[in-house]
A and B are shown apart, each in its own frame.
Chain A
Amino acid sequence: MIRKLITIAIAGGTLLGGSVRAQDATITIESWRNDDLALWQEKIIPAFEAEHSGIKVKFTPSAPTEYNAALNSKLEAGSAGDLITCRPFDASLALFDAGHLADLDDMEAMSNFSDVAKSAWQSDDGSASFCVPMASVIHGFIYNKDAFKELGVDVPATEDEFFAVLEKFKEDGTYIPMAMGTNDQWEAATMGYNNIGPNYWKGEEGRQALISGKQKLTDEGWVAPYATLAKWGAYLGDGYEAQTYPDSQNLFTLGRAAIYPAGSWEISGFNTQADFEMGAFKPPVQAEGDTCYISDHTDIGIGMNAASKNPEAARTFLSWVASPEFAAIFGNALPGFFPLSKTPVDLDDPLAKEFVSWRGQCESTIRSTYQILSRGTPNLENDTWGASVAAIKGTSSPEELGKQLQEGLATWYKPQQ
């Protein structure tokens, strides 16, 4: 209350006496996360303003589907906010290339982030970073602990164990071994191929080699995940060909399926829906003791409008976003969206904790198709959706799929020609 009065007094004083303090400024944030409006207004902004009394922050989100178009027109018209929530990769890179996003490389707080975390908001050669990484989502498998107990199976660590568990659930018949459908296609690629794939192409090593042209999609590391996906088909529910994403979510949270190939963004939804205990395990490795790789996909960042009228205040806010304090607030309010800073964050949610603990055990990478490789036609990401579905259904062999994707990529991507 007192703080509020002081703030009002300061604000009033500013109005009356002009700029009493050099720092007084209001900064506005553009975002597509209208789901998080309450979180920003009740937790994040008060925490920031308590420390930086001269700066007022306004969070003005728009609908996710309208965000890109609305932001572009606001930037063109010069009416956009000071801070801009960044989509990963090409959408933000285009804004930077057009001069709308400021270069943040000279900001000290950027050293709080690893190169992988920053890669989503960098120029192709990595020379300029233009958004502070805010959060990522991690892939893995969520499982029904009660079901595992009932059948007396352990959490699988290797691929053989993984399929042994699935086989056991199939024999038993009480539970659908794995809840996933191919109707919407993207789950097969995102929760299938890019979930288990990094273990085969060795995370960043393979991804970078693919971008530089040293590896091809016909190489063993890129084809083998399709061969593994082909074995999944037998363990998905009846009629999985027409099963949609919400169908799979419901199957799992109703307790009818044992394992759910997941992204960590499911955590908060599953916590409210499922009434059994859930656990998570990371994508199984091929042989015991192998280095594990996880997809720790960068999803949200925040950058500065190059035309901002309050660049100092905006930079102060960005440095704060890069701080462990912000990470703790954000990570706990949105379990499943993990802060990207190097300092580990204490999370309360057990499932989220499990996911984030893999960062310490495994090498992180991002989804293979997102950086640079999906710029041309045919679009590699879309093709990967189709290929993953075809692998699971068994309509094409893994080698054919690799060949097909490689041919598509080579038509427009020079390093692969």
Chain B
Amino acid sequence: MQRSPVRWHIIIFLTPAVLVYTTVMIFPLFNTLRLALYNRIDQERVFVGLQNFKALFGDTLWSEPFWNALGNNLWFFVIHMLVQNPIGIALAAILSHPRLRFAAFYRSAIFIPTILSFVIVGFAWKLILSPLWGIAPSLLDTVGLKSLFAPWLGKEEYALTTLALISVWQFVGIPMMLIYAALLSIPQEIIEAGEIDGITGFSAFWRIKLPLILPAIGIISILTFVGNFNAFDLIYAAQGALAGPAYSTDILGTFMYRTFFGFQLQLGDPHMGSAIASAMFGIILIGVCIYLFGIQSRMRRFQF
């Protein structure tokens, strides 16, 4: 029998996904990029080329909050990389220990915050840390460390770090789960072979397991990067759109939201907002490219 030259089933099976993805992802993305090239002048929408970006990077009115938000965003990311991921890896290593009791319970308990909504997490932590009714000051008081307490969320110098740590608390379950899965997939023979050669305990983790889970760590890093640079919800839920105190917790997401939709008496500016969104897209794209071409391509050779 002659096969039909056009393989219809491929097209038919792909169409729904392509259609949905195009309407809800690709079209809005390109439309946002397009919108960033326009501006509203005297009630008319006018094509202005790269003017919005010039203002965003060159005019101190825009560039100052932009660099501030980018800097805060970087710090937010650094905290996640330095705290969330190492703790996640450590937890996974402990959990994968064959003689640990109640492992399933710990696993669920640590993972549960991940499925909570940002609003609940933001609200709960705001209450915990509240200087008036929070349990943090009274807990510190019972151990005689009340002097260590400060209204962290209200101080410029601590607020962003505090929020980053709250976010770490919420999401530490994700790297833990991914690394845990990677650790379980290491063939027992390799570890046994190591044991025969005299590599056990900690050195088995450092010399055998860690190199084998590096690709998973890479994936987690890039997920953290994308997640952090798209972050918005937690800051908005805890500090509001003005990202107080004094914009010290303002990240790209809140800056974009304020500009795009407006706030209080400030009217929304969709064109400038799109310019910021495009800049965010660019930053994330560059970050992902560095990872894909610079790091992941080298990491493949460890895989088996």
Q: A residues bordering B, Cβ < 8 Å?
A: 89-90, 181-186, 237-244, 247, 251, 369-370, 374-375, 377-379, 381-382, 385-386, 389-390, 393, 395, 411
Closest residue of B by beta carbon distance from A393: B245
Q: List 24 A-B contacts (CB under 8 A).
A: A182-B245, A183-B239, A185-B245, A186-B264, A238-B131, A239-B130, A239-B137, A239-B150, A239-B154, A240-B154, A241-B154, A242-B129, A242-B151, A242-B152, A242-B155, A243-B132, A243-B154, A247-B133, A370-B265, A374-B266, A377-B266, A378-B61, A379-B264, A390-B246
Q: Which residues from 123 to 167 on chain B have a C-beta closer than 8 Å to any C-beta of chain A?
A: 126, 129-133, 137, 150-156
Chain A residues with CB under 8 Å of B265's CB are 89-90, 369-370, 374, 379, 381-382
Chain B residues with CB under 8 Å of A385's CB are 242
Say what secondary structure dominates the interface of chain A: loop
**Whole-angstrom CA separation of A247 from B156 in the bound complex:** 20
A314 to chain B, nearest CB (A): 28
Q: Which residues from 232 to 277 on chain B have a C-beta closer than 8 Å to any C-beta of chain A?
A: 239-240, 242, 244-247, 263-267, 269
Of A186, A370, A374, A395, which one neighbours B156 at CB under 8 angstroms?
Answer: A395
Chain B residues with CB under 8 Å of A186's CB are 264
Q: Which of B129, B244, B263, B265 is packed against the most chain A CB atoms within 10 Å?
A: B265
**Whole-angstrom CA separation of A385 from B264 in the bound complex:** 11
Closest 3 CB pairs of A and B: A239-B131, A241-B154, A242-B154
Asked if A381 contacts B264 (CB within 8 A), the reply is: yes
A183 to chain B, nearest CB (A): 5
Q: Which of B126, B240, B267 is packed against the most chain A CB atoms within 10 Å?
A: B267
Chain B residues with CB under 8 Å of A240's CB are 131, 151, 154
Asked if B153 contacts A183 (CB within 8 A), the reply is: yes
**Whole-angstrom CA separation of A246 from B133 in the bound complex:** 12
Asked if B245 contacts A241 (CB within 8 A), the reply is: yes
**Whole-angstrom CA separation of A370 from B264 in the bound complex:** 10
Asked if A386 contacts B247 (CB within 8 A), the reply is: yes
Chain B residues with CB under 8 Å of A374's CB are 265-266
**Whole-angstrom CA separation of A181 from B154 in the bound complex:** 9
Say what secondary structure dominates the interface of chain B: loop
Chain A residues with CB under 8 Å of B154's CB are 181-183, 239-243
**Whole-angstrom CA separation of A184 from B245 in the bound complex:** 8
**Whole-angstrom CA separation of A184 from B150 in the bound complex:** 17
Assess A90 versus B267: contact at CB under 8 Å? Given A243-B131, A247-B132: yes
A229 to chain B, nearest CB (A): 15
Chain A residues with CB under 8 Å of B151's CB are 239-243
Chain B residues with CB under 8 Å of A395's CB are 156, 246
Chain A residues with CB under 8 Å of B61's CB are 377-378, 411
Chain B residues with CB under 8 Å of A378's CB are 61
Closest residue of A by beta carbon distance from B152: A242
B83 to chain A, nearest CB (A): 22
A92 to chain B, nearest CB (A): 13
**Whole-angstrom CA separation of A63 from B237 in the bound complex:** 20
**Whole-angstrom CA separation of A403 from B102 in the bound complex:** 62
**Whole-angstrom CA separation of A242 from B155 in the bound complex:** 8
Chain A residues with CB under 8 Å of B264's CB are 186, 379, 381-382
**Whole-angstrom CA separation of A163 from B153 in the bound complex:** 28
Chain A residues with CB under 8 Å of B132's CB are 237-239, 243, 247, 251
Asked if A242 contacts B130 (CB within 8 A), the reply is: yes
Closest residue of B by beta carbon distance from A189: B264
Chain B residues with CB under 8 Å of A381's CB are 264-266
Chain B residues with CB under 8 Å of A370's CB are 265
Chain B residues with CB under 8 Å of A379's CB are 263-266
Supply 9 further A-B pairs (C-beta < 8 A) apart from A184-B240, A381-B266.
A237-B131, A238-B132, A239-B151, A242-B153, A243-B151, A369-B265, A379-B266, A382-B242, A382-B263
Closest residue of A by beta carbon distance from B240: A184
Chain B residues with CB under 8 Å of A182's CB are 154, 244-245
Chain B residues with CB under 8 Å of A382's CB are 242, 263-266
A255 to chain B, nearest CB (A): 14
Closest residue of A by beta carbon distance from B156: A395
Closest residue of A by beta carbon distance from B262: A379
Chain B residues with CB under 8 Å of A244's CB are 126
Chain B residues with CB under 8 Å of A243's CB are 130-132, 151, 154
Chain A residues with CB under 8 Å of B263's CB are 379, 382
**Whole-angstrom CA separation of A209 from B150 in the bound complex:** 42
B173 to chain A, nearest CB (A): 27
**Whole-angstrom CA separation of A218 from B150 in the bound complex:** 34
Chain A residues with CB under 8 Å of B152's CB are 242
Closest residue of A by beta carbon distance from B155: A241
Chain A residues with CB under 8 Å of B267's CB are 90, 375
Assess A185 versus B153: contact at CB under 8 Å? Given A243-B132, A386-B247: no
**Whole-angstrom CA separation of A385 from B156 in the bound complex:** 15
B51 to chain A, nearest CB (A): 15
Closest residue of B by beta carbon distance from A408: B61
Chain B residues with CB under 8 Å of A247's CB are 130, 132-133
Q: Which of B137, B239, B247, B264 is packed against the most chain A CB atoms within 10 Å?
A: B264
**Whole-angstrom CA separation of A237 from B151 in the bound complex:** 11
Chain A residues with CB under 8 Å of B131's CB are 237-240, 242-243
A182 to chain B, nearest CB (A): 7
B128 to chain A, nearest CB (A): 11
**Whole-angstrom CA separation of A389 from B130 in the bound complex:** 18
A383 to chain B, nearest CB (A): 10
**Whole-angstrom CA separation of A395 from B157 in the bound complex:** 12
A226 to chain B, nearest CB (A): 15
B246 to chain A, nearest CB (A): 6
Chain B residues with CB under 8 Å of A393's CB are 245
B166 to chain A, nearest CB (A): 13
Kindly supply a per-residue 1/0 record for chain B positions 98-136, scoring 1 wherever the CB is within 8 Å of any chain A CB and 0 otherwise: 000000000000000000000000000010011111000
Closest residue of A by beta carbon distance from B59: A411
Asked if B246 contacts A386 (CB within 8 A), the reply is: yes
**Whole-angstrom CA separation of A242 from B150 in the bound complex:** 9
**Whole-angstrom CA separation of A240 from B154 in the bound complex:** 8
B271 to chain A, nearest CB (A): 12
Chain B residues with CB under 8 Å of A369's CB are 265
**Whole-angstrom CA separation of A181 from B244 in the bound complex:** 12
B151 to chain A, nearest CB (A): 3
Closest residue of B by beta carbon distance from A369: B265
Closest residue of B by beta carbon distance from A381: B265
Chain B residues with CB under 8 Å of A377's CB are 61, 266, 269
Q: Which of A239, A240, A369, A411 is packed against the most chain B CB atoms within 10 Å?
A: A239
